[in-house]
A = this chain, B = another copy of it.
Amino acid sequence: MRDVFHADLDALNSQLVAMSTSVTQAMRAASAALLSRDAVQARGVIDGDADINAMQYAVDDEVIDIMTRHQPIAGDLRFILGAVRIGTDLERMGDMAVHVAKIAERDAPGCAVPRTRPIFTAMSEIAIRIADKTTGILVSRDVLDATQFDLDDDEMDAQFDRLMRVLGEGWSHGAEAAVDVAMLGRSFERYADHAVRVAHQIVYLVTGEVHLGRES
């Protein structure tokens, strides 16, 4: 009975890994669409979000199924609730990719990121790197790795500050473009924040310690 239970938990974790892989791919495609001004690729990300949302509902259904069929003890319940929470954050990461894709689609073939392209190239790389690591620790449950996420997050924050400075110093592309650039920056930053929340959830699952995040 315990073996069936643990096989079910492994299957649940595999669903989270698949979802994490999908939201990484979504942000990779959204970034490429933004930087290459590709409306078709942007549309693909927007349309693909329904699949990611469906994955979240599947995680919830699996959780309810596991709790109904087994009578988990407290430690296992912690893991199971963590899965619900991780599913929520992954779903929001998908939404952030959609935000990027929507601006990319609307502005294509024009450029949504005047004067700031190198910053967005960097933000995209950091976001995807963090998401890849998130998938990695979902697989490995390696808490040491998870604590490293704050450094990546600091890098993202530094790029966001750089973006704000560009908007503050002689910006000549108008308020609307400034708002788009700020919103895009915020979407990458929030994407990373949600990935870091997933990492902190895993720390909590493995150690039981609340890592009071800096995400607010």
Q: Which residues of chain A have a CB within 8 Å of any CB of chain B?
A: 49, 53, 57, 60, 63-64, 67-68, 71-74, 77-78, 81, 84-85, 88, 94-95, 98-99, 164, 167-168, 171, 174-176, 178-179, 182-183, 186, 210, 212, 215-216
Contact = CB atoms under 8 A, between A and B. Distances in A.
A67 B64 CA distance: 12
Query: What is the count of identical protomers in the complex?
Result: 2
B81 A63 contact: yes
Interface residue SS majority, chain A: helix
Nearest to A97: B216
Nearest to A64: B77
Nearest to A193: B95
A186 B99 CA distance: 12
Contacts of A53: 212, 216
19 contacts: A49-B216, A53-B212, A63-B81, A64-B78, A68-B73, A68-B74, A84-B84, A85-B88, A94-B216, A99-B216, A164-B176, A167-B175, A167-B179, A168-B175, A171-B174, A175-B175, A178-B179, A182-B182, A183-B186
Nearest to A177: B175
